[in-house]
Amino acid sequence: MLGKGKIAALGFQHVLAMYAGAVIVPLLIGGALGFNGEEMTYLVSIDIFMCGIATLLQLTVNRFFGIGLPVVLGCAVQAIAPIILIGQDMGIGAIYGSIIVSGLFVLLIAPFFSKVVRFFPPVVTGSVVTVIGLTLIPVAINNLAGGAGAKDFGSMYNLGLGFGTLLLIILVYRFGQGFSKAIAVLIGLVGGSLFAALYKGISLGPVSEASWFHMPKPFYFGTPTFEWPAIITMILIALVSMVESTGVYFALSDITERKLTQKDLTRGYRAEGLAIMLGGVFNTFPYTAYSQNVGLVQLSGIKTRKVIYAAAGFLIVLGLIPKIGAVTTIIPTPVLGGAMVAMFGMVVAQGIKMLGKVNFTSQENLLIIACAVGVGLGVTVVPDLFNAFPSFVRLFTSNGIVAGSVTAITLNIIFNMIPHRKDKKLADPEPQHAE
């Protein structure tokens, strides 16, 4: 029997395991869209708060939503690039309008998604996740060098700080034991920031200016607008997140030795849909099940939902204290970049791991992966390729994640699904009636 103290400690461990990944999403998006210090503080704080709310939705089982597994929800990393692109092309309102509609889409499609999952076999999901990681690596490298457009871009100090942070993460993961491995990224962020503070100093202005307490405000960044290209983009991202979450659900069901039914999955998807819609209303981002917390459940051997309830409680409290959110906004850009190299590289590694389930003796599968990764990475590296197209078309053609996803899904249907139907017809010819 776990006491309250142990439950609290284990819950805070889950917060530490997912905190770095959760705050990096608003930091990257807010930085790319030019948010000021006050806006960044709100964005980080409300994001952490909503991670707690989203997790509670999954833990609370009723007729309509909640899968009831020890799952933690956080911001979907794959949404970073599309959100930045939508914000730059169509404005902040279009970001949150598309997030709200994509959440509604998830809510409505939840009962039918078990049938749609067949369109996302490992060859598709593995390709998509690999493309997601590859499209984010340039962002990490730019930040490691000081941030695109920085006066000291590529300076020895920036490179030393960025690669030093990455080296610290690697050393902690190599020589750390148990829990320290789970928070290797967080240790790297703290260590890199402390070195920067001692060597060059860090401005604590955003922390001193931040308030001690705030309440979430609906539509803090203005009224949402609804643009079809942005909506379709976020629906595609939501579908990828649903597929990833499905993997997390089944991993946790295996760990907890609980068999999942179609109704369980439907409730899980609905909870995510509600979380995404609330994210749009309170100006945060789409949410998905975090796989790093699955590892903690397995590592600790503690499978009770009480621990995750404690984690959700900590997230909500932390999100209501802007000073804590402001601390994360003063992390030097090269330090973030060094951590991102490891994190986004792990996204690529996860994609490759998912591709390990693919039958590589099939030339068709090899071609699906080759074209999906090739198109996704190619569009990311050369985003001006389709500049002659109308702006609403460029939203899709200049987004490597969407381009790679559509390529993988389409080629999988052509090579792996349509032929199977034909083969089935040949294998089961219509019975001949006797005369």
Question: Could you read off the pLDDT of 118-171 as tens digits, one per residue?
Answer: 777 888 878 877 887 787 788 788 888 887 777 888 888 889 989 998 999 889
The CA distance from 19 to 25, in Å, is 10
- Indicate the SS3 state at residue 74: strand
Q: What is the pLDDT of residue 136?
A: 75
Question: For residue 379, is pLDDT > 60?
Answer: yes
Token pair 């457009």 is at which residue? 149
Q: What is the pLDDT of residue 107?
A: 93
The partner residues of 287 in beta bridges, in order of sequence, read 75
Q: What is the pLDDT of residue 275?
A: 93
Q: What is the pLDDT of residue 269?
A: 93
The CA distance from 426 to 300, in Å, is 52
The CA distance from 74 to 273, in Å, is 13
Stretch 52-76: mean pLDDT, rounded?
89
Q: What is the pLDDT of residue 75?
A: 86
The tokens of 295 are what?
């590892």
Confidence class for position 2, pLDDT limits 50, 70, 90: low
Residue 69: closest CA among 305, 384, 271: 305
Confidence class for position 434, pLDDT limits 50, 70, 90: very low
More confident residue, 23 or 192: 192
Q: What is the pLDDT of residue 101?
A: 95
- Distances in Å between the Cα of 143 and the Cα atoms of 31, 133, 158 are 11, 15, 9
- Percent pLDDT > 90 in the chain is 14
Stretch 216-221: mean pLDDT, rounded?
85
Return the CA Rg of the chain.
22
Confidence class for position 35, pLDDT limits 50, 70, 90: confident
Q: What is the pLDDT of residue 280?
A: 92
Residue 20: closest CA among 240, 340, 308: 340
- Distances in Å between the Cα of 5 and the Cα atoms of 1, 10, 12, 183, 192 are 12, 9, 11, 20, 31
Residue 375: closest CA among 412, 409, 408: 408
Alpha helices in 110-222 (DSSP H): 113-116, 122-144, 156-175, 179-182, 184-199, 205-209
Lowest mean pLDDT, pick from 110-114, 142-146, 224-228, 351-355: 351-355
The CA distance from 331 to 322, in Å, is 15
Confidence class for position 367, pLDDT limits 50, 70, 90: very high
Lowest mean pLDDT, pick from 28-37, 243-252, 258-267: 243-252
Stretch 29-43: mean pLDDT, rounded?
81
The CA distance from 184 to 195, in Å, is 16
Question: For residue 113, is pLDDT > 80?
Answer: yes
Is the distance from CB of 224 to CB of 333 less than 8 angstroms? no
Residue 141: closest CA among 328, 348, 334: 334
Confidence class for position 292, pLDDT limits 50, 70, 90: low
> Which of 169-173, 199-203, 341-345, 381-385 tops mean pLDDT?
169-173
Q: What is the pLDDT of residue 289?
A: 84
Token pair 């902040």 is at which residue? 92
Is the distance from CB of 404 to CB of 372 less than 8 angstroms? yes
Stretch 79-90: mean pLDDT, rounded?
83
Question: For residue 20, is pLDDT > 70?
Answer: no
Q: What is the pLDDT of residue 104?
A: 95
Stretch 328-350: mean pLDDT, rounded?
78
More confident residue, 110 or 189: 110
Q: What is the pLDDT of residue 178?
A: 64
Q: What is the pLDDT of residue 274?
A: 94
Confidence class for position 98, pLDDT limits 50, 70, 90: very high
Q: Which phi and psi angles does 284 have, rounded to 5°?
A: -115, -140
Q: What is the pLDDT of residue 435?
A: 41
**Cβ atoms within 10 Å of 368's Cβ, excluding its own:** 26
Q: What is the pLDDT of residue 363?
A: 87
Q: What is the pLDDT of residue 206?
A: 64
Stretch 363-373: mean pLDDT, rounded?
91
Question: For residue 13, is pLDDT > 60?
Answer: yes
Stretch 375-386: mean pLDDT, rounded?
82
The CA distance from 218 to 278, in Å, is 9
- How many helices (H) and strands (E) are present in the chain, helices listed first? 20, 2
Is the distance from CB of 322 to CB of 72 less than 8 angstroms? no
